[in-house]
């Protein structure tokens, strides 16, 4: 079977998952999503992996769901595929996920990028939710994650027109974290990954979990989640090491314990 998702280890503590169907602009077919989910499940179990970078190959991050596979699909078949479980594997990844987006991130491709925690876009990247143009709507979180990222009026403009936007506009509206020159994209994403991979992983994981869970909870509940996680981290060796190293004016050595 073709490897539609390649697993690479570009630096200590960093796993890179590369969508590998460039001839179809990395259109996400079912097998590709199964492979993605398998990789994310595996990575979640690996304590030595601290950060995941998700990137494309060729001239796209991903141009959406595979339309050839969907064109004749019926509702019941779609329901029985339970594809949401495959996406959930990505959403549940405890380690930070950095999407490095080059070229097209459209439809399911944009939704995939929005599963990440940080999005670095190449100057040439283009984002959009063009599902409406083919008679459907986003089905992998596009209506909800986009709304939460950029607000109602910008989300609905993108969703209702299906129009594409460039990296600068995506940055201005808060859909991406930063923009890098095309040729520097992967290096920059890796730099960020290495920076985070060197930090205490328990603190990193708690920050991710609390931000994501808290974003959809009432403020008082979210603040309580934050307080509990903050207090919990004082049980870690890395907290003792981090604070002592600061006071002793030396570099901390974090063990993830």
Residues that bind ligand CO8 (CB under 6 A): 24-25, 27-28, 63-68, 104, 106-108, 111, 130-131, 134, 138-140
Residue 186 annotated as catalytic: no
Residue 248 annotated as catalytic: no
Measured from the CB atom, the residue of 65 and 203 that comes closer to ligand CO8 is 65
Measured from the CB atom, the residue of 17 and 65 that comes closer to ligand CO8 is 65
Strands 165-166 and 126-128 turn out to be antiparallel
| Shortest Å distance, C-beta 27 to ligand CO8 | 3
Catalytic residue among 27, 60, 63, 65: 65
| Shortest Å distance, C-beta 112 to ligand CO8 | 7
| Shortest Å distance, C-beta 101 to ligand CO8 | 13
Q: Nearest residue by C-beta to ligand CO8? A: 107
Measured from the CB atom, the residue of 107 and 201 that comes closer to ligand CO8 is 107
How far is C-alpha 146 from the geometric centre of its chain's CA atoms? Answer: 13
Measured from the CB atom, the residue of 32 and 119 that comes closer to ligand CO8 is 32
How far is C-alpha 220 from the geometric centre of its chain's CA atoms? Answer: 27
Task: List beta partners, residue 119.
Answer: 99
In a 10 Å sphere around its CB, with 0-12 CB exposed, 13-18 middle and 19+ buried, how is residue 127 labelled? buried
Judge contact between 61 and 113, C-beta under 8 A.
yes
Measured from the CB atom, the residue of 65 and 90 that comes closer to ligand CO8 is 65
Instruction: List Cβ neighbours of 208 (8 Å cut-off, separation of 6 or more).
Output: 94, 95, 96, 117
| Shortest Å distance, C-beta 81 to ligand CO8 | 10
Buried-state track 199-233, b at ≥16 Cβ within 10 A, e below 16: bbbbbbbbbbebeeebeeeeeeebeebbeebeeeb
| Shortest Å distance, C-beta 190 to ligand CO8 | 26
Measured from the CB atom, the residue of 25 and 98 that comes closer to ligand CO8 is 25
Residue 183 annotated as catalytic: no
- Nearest CA to 19 out of 51, 62, 69, 52 is that of 62
Residue 3 annotated as catalytic: no
The CA–CA distances, whole Å, from 191 to 50, 98, 215 equal: 13, 11, 27
Report the SS3 class of residue 136.
coil
3-state secondary structure 82-128: CHHHHHHHHHCCCCCEEEEECCEEECHHHHHHHCCCEEEEECCCEEE
| Shortest Å distance, C-beta 96 to ligand CO8 | 22
Catalytic residue among 111, 121, 140, 180: 111
- 13, two tokens: 């503590």
Q: Which residues are catalytic?
A: 65, 108, 111, 131
């Amino acid at each position: 079977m073709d490897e539609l998702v390649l697993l690479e280890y570009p630096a200590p503590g960093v796993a890179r998952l590369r969508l590998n169907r460039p001839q179809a602009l990395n259109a996400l077919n079912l097998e590709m999503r199964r492979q993605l989910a398998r990789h994310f499940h595996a990575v979640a179990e690996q304590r030595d992996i601290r950060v995941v970078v998700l990137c494309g190959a060729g001239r796209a991050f991903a141009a959406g769901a595979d339309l050839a596979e969907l064109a004749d699909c019926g509702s019941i078949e779609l329901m029985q595929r339970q594809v949401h479980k495959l996406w959930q594997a990505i959403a549940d990844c405890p380690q930070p996920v950095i999407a490095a987006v080059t070229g097209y991130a459209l439809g399911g491709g944009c939704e995939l990028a929005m599963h990440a925690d940080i999005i670095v876009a190449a100057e040439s990247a283009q984002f959009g939710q063009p599902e409406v143009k083919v008679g459907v709507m986003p089905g992998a979180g596009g209506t909800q994650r986009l709304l939460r990222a950029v607000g109602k009026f910008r989300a609905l403009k993108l969703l209702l027109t299906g129009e594409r936007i460039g990296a600068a506009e995506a940055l201005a509206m808060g859909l991406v974290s930063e923009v890098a020159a095309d040729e520097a994209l992967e290096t920059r994403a890796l730099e960020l990954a290495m920076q985070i991979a060197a930090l205490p992983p328990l603190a990193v994981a708690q920050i991710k979990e609390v931000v994501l869970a808290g974003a959809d909870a009432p403020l008082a509940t979210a603040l309580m989640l934050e307080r509990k996680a903050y207090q919990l981290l004082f049980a870690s060796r890395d907290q003792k090491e981090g604070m002592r190293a600061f006071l002793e004016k030396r570099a901390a050595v974090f063990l993830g314990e």
